Structures are given as C-alpha cells and as structure tokens.
Amino acid sequence: MFTKGVALEYRALSLVLLSICLMVADNRFDYLRHARFALAYTALPVYWIADLPARGSELFDDVFVSHSALVEENAELRTQLLLAQRELQVLESLASENSRLRALDEAAQTVEGDVLSAEIVNQAPNRASKRVLINRGAAQGVFVGQALLAAEGLMGQVVEVMPTTSWVLLVADPLHVTPVEVNRNGERALARGTRGAADELELEFVTQTQDIREGDLLVSSGMGEVFPKNYPVADVISVRNDPGQDFAVVRARPRVAVNSTRHVMLLIPPAPSLALDEVDVAEPEVAL
Amino acid sequence: MKPSGSTYWVVIVSLFFAYLLAIVPLPDWALNWRPQWVLLFVFYWTMALPYRVGLGLSWTAGLLLDVLEGSVLGLNALVLLTVAYVSLSLHQRLRMYTPVQQSGVVLLACLLALGMGQWLRVINGESVPVDAGYLFAAITSAAIWPALFSLLRGLRRRFITN
C-alpha cells in the first residue's frame, strides 16, 4: 500500500511535467500539428453522433412536409427569386459603373472568389471562446485563415484544420478583431468581440468626433486581406460619448445569429494569388 | 485483482458517452450550466476501480477531450490528472461517504478543475478573463452526481464482476 502511494505521486508529477511540455510544444512552437491532425480522427465518431439530432430534425422537416406546404414554399421562393433577379440587374449595372470609376481612379479591385458550402456541426463546448465546428477540412482544401460567410453576413475565420472538419473563430470572440468600415461614409475601425456572454462587437479606438451612429451598418473593409471587401458584418447598436474618456464606446451586434444558422460558405480566394505563391491549398500553414 | 478485458471496455464505452454529452450543442444560456461530464466519469472510475483506472487513463481521457474541444494539447489532460489524483488519494475515504456527501467533494473538484482550465486557457492565449459564470457548471455537476453515481455503480456491478 505504501509503495503504491509513493509511486502515485511520482507518476502524477511526471504526467504533470509531460502535460506542461505538451502545452508549450503545441502552443509556442507548433511542433504537434501533425499529431493533432492524426488525433482528430478519433474525435470524428463523437462529432458525427453528436450531430445526429440536428441532421435528423432537418431530414424530418424535408421528408414529412405536406404537398400544400411545398407548393406554398415554392411560390414564395419563386417570388423571392424574381425580386433577387431584379436587384441583380440593378447591381450589375452598378458593378460595371463601379469598375469604370475604379479604372479611372486606378484603385485595386475588390476581393472576389468562389465559395465552398459547409455546415455548422458543433460549437465550442464552453463560453470561454466563441468558435464553431464546420464539416469541411483538409480533404476539401480548407486552410487556416479562410473566411467563413453566411447569407446574412461575415461569420469568422478558420483557425484549425482537421482531416474533414475545421474550427472557425467567430467575429464575436474576444480574441478576434475584424477590420470594418461604416457603410454610410467609409469611416474605418477595428471591431473586437466583447468578453461578455452576449454576441457583441466593440469598435476599438474610435475618437469622439468620428461619425458613427446607432443603426449604421458595418461592412468588412478588406484590410488584412482575410475577408472580402464590403461584406456586412454587424449593426451598430449603441454609441456612447463620454467627454472624460479618450475614445467613444461603440457597440455592434453581428448580423449572423450563430445558433440559428447551419448552412454557411467558405470563401475560396481567386486563383491568381494561389498560383503566384505556388501553394498547395491542402497544407494549412502556407495560407497564412 | 487481475484486470479483465471487459473492464476496460465498460470504462471506454462509458467515457464515449461522456464525450458525447460534453460536446452536444446546447443553447447559449445552458452552456455555463453544462455538467463536467468527462470529469464526473473519470472521478467515478478512479474512485471505484483505483488499481485499474489510474492516472494514465485519466490523462489520456483529458488528451482526447483536448482534441475534441480544439484546445491546446495537454490542457484538459492536466486538469483531469489533478482530479484523478485527488480521487485516487481519497478513494478509501470517499467510498465511506454517502453519494450526497460525495457531492461536496465533487463540487470542490469541479471548482478546482474549472478554475484551472480557465486559468490555463488564458495563459495559452485561447481565452480572455471572463466573469465567474463558468463556475456554475460545478453546481450542476455536484447536483447530478448522486444520480450518476448510482447509474455507474449499477453499470459496474452488472458488467465488471471481478
């Protein structure tokens, strides 16, 4: 019994040291990337089963739907398509006008690219970080730093790529900073996620004289070249000017409601930049 | 005391369910209240079978939780190792307690684990200091312990005969 007790302490101590070495090696030196990648296979069945209820309810919604409801939905979608097409016509003329103006101005082109559809299959299990897991990974060419978009707006960027899944850091995470601009007047700012439980953003270093109002739409400014330019990010919900402070406190709410969104898309950057770097998209490190 | 193969199968399959419960998506308000499932399972097995489920298995369980949560490797391993150490050192005393009394120890172990986890996350730059709401999980964990204890004891008596 006594020898067992002594051995327990030594074993505990050696495992503590091993854990600390692992954390340092993984976090500071990035030695364990391949080990993480391999270990991620063991996590796959757990994710798969945890996602069953959500997929089941979606399947249920698709299969057990009445004929009249389908007809109704079809008609509604057709109206929406018509409206969208009309708006697209206006947009196309605007786009051509815009490109002519840009040519005059010799300004850089906006970021454009293809998208890869994905589904959110899980979320970070605690409130300490705001992340979601998507069902696309290295097998589909996802890389670290790739932008994730939803129909309503910008969601975040990929921070870890696993064989067939990836972790995405959301714009509302306190460690994520999104370069944005006010859609109304092009005022630029940096939007950082807030620490609280609410999904909110706070604009950093906004002077009290800057023209940002409640209700303004914040779009991505395209700086940093991670996110596409002019994609909606958040709506300003409050602006507080305190004469005693250096900066105004501006809060914004992201456009995407993460909990009610399942279908999302990953932005695939246009080909030329990839060909330029001679990179293999499946390798996560080169995309940074 | 020679461990049979089935012992490990029962432990591993039960841990699989713990992982499932640990990551199944919950609404935002419930996230802070989610019991520390993997911790509770490790606590039970180290207490009930201290010579078969020891530090090594607890540590490995934590490592897999790290992979599952996408946190830095070794973080949950260290946390679960600490909990397993407490449980292994106290297992003879813990067995004398009633399940409700054990809940008190579980509460302390969960507070320790949650605090340590958050502290390590901040050190590793995965998270920022937040309000103490994440500690609520300790309350739900302690509250659910008596039920989980009888469930796992039933499992042990049914499947682990030696």
Select the residue of B63, B74, B121 nearest A20 (Cβ to Cβ): B74
Taking Cα atoms as reference points, which of B70, B69, B110 lies closest to residue B87? Answer: B110
Q: Mutating which of A49, A127, A158, A170 best tests the B interface, going by the most B Cβ atoms within 10 A?
A: A127
Domain with A244, as residue range(s), is: 114-288
Q: Chain centroid to CA A255: how far?
A: 12
Cβ–Cβ gap A23/B19 under 8 Å: no
Break chain B into its structural domains and give their ranges.
Answer: 5-153
In a domain, A256, yes or no: yes
Count CB atoms within 10 A of the CB of residue B9. Answer: 12
Number of compact structural domains in chain A: 3
Which residues, including other chains, have CB under 8 Å from residue A33's CB and lie 6 or more apart?
A284, A285
Query: A128 to chain B nearest CA, in Å?
Result: 6
Q: Are A124 and A233 in contact (CB under 8 A)?
A: no
Rounded distance, CA B70 to CA A160, Å?
8
For the B5-153 domain, the top CATH level (class) is mainly alpha
Rounded distance, CA A288 to CA A159, Å?
10
In a domain, A212, yes or no: yes
Residue A96 shares a structural domain with residue A212: no
Which residues, including other chains, have CB under 8 Å from residue A105's CB and lie 6 or more apart?
none
CATH number of residue A207's parent domain: 2.40.10.340
Token match 């950093």: residue? A204
Residue A21 shares a structural domain with residue A85: no
In a domain, A22, yes or no: yes
In a domain, A55, yes or no: no
> What is the full per-residue pLDDT of chain A (288 aa) written as tens digits?
455 556 888 889 999 999 999 998 888 887 788 888 888 888 888 888 888 888 888 888 778 777 888 888 889 999 888 888 888 888 887 887 777 777 666 554 454 668 888 999 888 877 778 899 999 999 999 999 999 998 888 999 999 898 889 999 999 998 899 999 998 888 899 999 988 777 899 999 998 888 999 999 999 988 888 888 888 899 999 999 888 888 999 999 999 888 888 889 998 887 654 444 444 444 444 444
Helix (H) or strand (E) holding A188: strand A188-193
**What's the pTM value of the predicted model, to 2 decimals?**
0.80
Select the residue of B28, B75, B126 nearest A259 (Cβ to Cβ): B28
Residue A11 shares a structural domain with residue A79: no
In a domain, A197, yes or no: yes
In a domain, A186, yes or no: yes
Instruction: Note whether B126 contacts A: Cβ–Cβ < 8 A.
Output: yes
Q: Which two tokens stand for residue A205?
A: 């270093």
Spell out which chain A residues touch chain B, with contact meaning CB-CB distance below 8 angstroms: 5, 8, 11-12, 15-16, 18-23, 26-27, 32, 35-36, 39-40, 42-43, 46-47, 49-50, 53-54, 122-129, 131, 133, 160, 167, 174-175, 195-197, 259
Residue A20 shares a structural domain with residue A74: no
Please name the residue of chain B whose CA is at the shortest distance from the CA of residue A49.
Answer: B20
- Give the pLDDT confidence score for residue A203 in this predicted structure: 92
Residue A200 shares a structural domain with residue A72: no
Residue A95 shares a structural domain with residue A134: no
Asked casually if ipTM beats, i.e. exceeds, 0.90, the reply is no
